[in-house]
Amino acid sequence: MRLAAVDMGSNSTRLLIADLDEHGHLTELVRRATVTRLGTGVDRTGRLDPAAIDRVTAELGVIRGLLDEHRVERAVGVLTSAVRDAENGAEFTATVRDEFGIDAQTIPGEREAALTFRGATGGRPHEERPVAVVDIGGGSTEFIVGHDGAAEFSVSTQAGVVRQSERHVRNDPPQHDELVAIAEDARGIYDAAIPADVRASVGTVIAVAGTATTCAAILQELEPYDPEKVHGSRLSLADVEGLTARLAQMTEDERREVKGLHPDRAVTIVPGCVLLSVALRTFGVDECEVSEHDILRGAIAAAATGDF
């Protein structure tokens, strides 16, 4: 069965096309990610910006061509924080379904978390202590804690690279007090959302999505990007905080030249590093595992079993 999943997030639009066999084994055929910043301005205005909608629909036109070229049997789509928060979100979701033939759903944060956990932990061996999956997006951060593939706790928080950047960053390069404000904002949000006993129970943290994978790519100086080298790599807290200090000294134009950093992520990578370091400290760990397996895999698995 050939399936596809499209994730229209607050910062990027991503595609995964994969074959799924009768045993549930997934073989990736196409993976694509484009920074489209759908969440631009939503925290301030409560609406999706027309220019942001145009960026995403242009990308969906490319994606529709790929779906046809690869003869995808079914394509599902998830719309997350930006669309959940926007007054015109339902209208945009209908556009995705009607104009591009993608079975798109605006999903609540809890569903986003469950699909992410399913994608990130599928096939992992047994671990003695619970695993936490951290998904830092453009408008929200999802935390999912569970054991042996089953999520036992999940929460979606209002902290993301686009949202916190718009709230706190006014200078280029960002000033020290602006980064402190992001960290304090995120720390308060994360601590309030995750009970102390849940935080203390976690043995392993898996970080998915663009901030974590980009940090891994920068540290390995990957050009071009190589998902096989990123997946399963480890990021220490010291690595992340070192990247924060290094990248925060640069202007956006200078960051665009950093090896391993896609130019489109130059705007949000510093807030992303701050959020990731706060997340690691929230669980009291000094490193995380980076995973390419995320909500896209979870959505495909759900579509295959009739759960989408």
Strand blocks (E) in the chain: 2-8, 12-20, 26-35, 74-79, 103-106, 131-136, 141-147, 150-157, 204-208, 234-236, 287-291
Among the candidates 74, 109, 144, a domain finishes at 109
Per the structure, the complete domain to which residue 252 belongs is given by 123-291
- Residue range 40-54: average pLDDT? 90
Domain count, the chain: 2
Which 3 state secondary structure label does DSSP give 286? coil
Residues 6+ apart with CB under 8 A from 247: 255, 258, 261, 269, 270, 273
Q: What is the CATH number of the domain that holds 94?
A: 3.30.420.40
Quick one: DSSP state of residue 120?
Answer: H
Q: 198 and 50, same structural domain? A: no
Within-domain flag for 230: yes
Q: What is the CATH number of the domain that holds 196?
A: 3.30.420.150
For residue 197, count other CB atoms closer than 10 A to its CB: 8
Which 3 state secondary structure label does DSSP give 230? helix
Q: 158 and 99, same structural domain? A: no
Confidence of residue 275 (pLDDT cuts 50, 70, 90): very high
Q: 18 and 104, same structural domain? A: yes
pLDDT score at 14: 92
Quick one: DSSP state of residue 37?
Answer: -
Q: 133 and 40, same structural domain? A: no
Among the candidates 80, 109, 138, a domain finishes at 109
pLDDT score at 292: 86
Looking at the predicted structure, is the pLDDT value of residue 132 above 90?
yes
Within-domain flag for 304: no
Confidence of residue 91 (pLDDT cuts 50, 70, 90): very high
pTM score, whole prediction:
0.80
Q: 100 and 57, same structural domain? A: yes
For residue 58, count other CB atoms closer than 10 A to its CB: 13
**Could you tell me the two tokens for 147?**
């054991």
Looking at the predicted structure, is the pLDDT value of residue 185 above 90?
yes
Within-domain flag for 152: yes
Say which residue the tokens 């203390």 belong to.
Answer: 200
- Residue range 222-250: average pLDDT? 92
Q: 153 and 26, same structural domain? A: no
Looking at the predicted structure, is the pLDDT value of residue 248 above 80?
yes
Q: 265 and 227, same structural domain? A: yes
Q: 183 and 129, same structural domain? A: yes
Model confidence pLDDT, tens digit, residues 100-115: 999 999 988 778 888 8
Q: 282 and 147, same structural domain? A: yes
Confidence of residue 145 (pLDDT cuts 50, 70, 90): very high
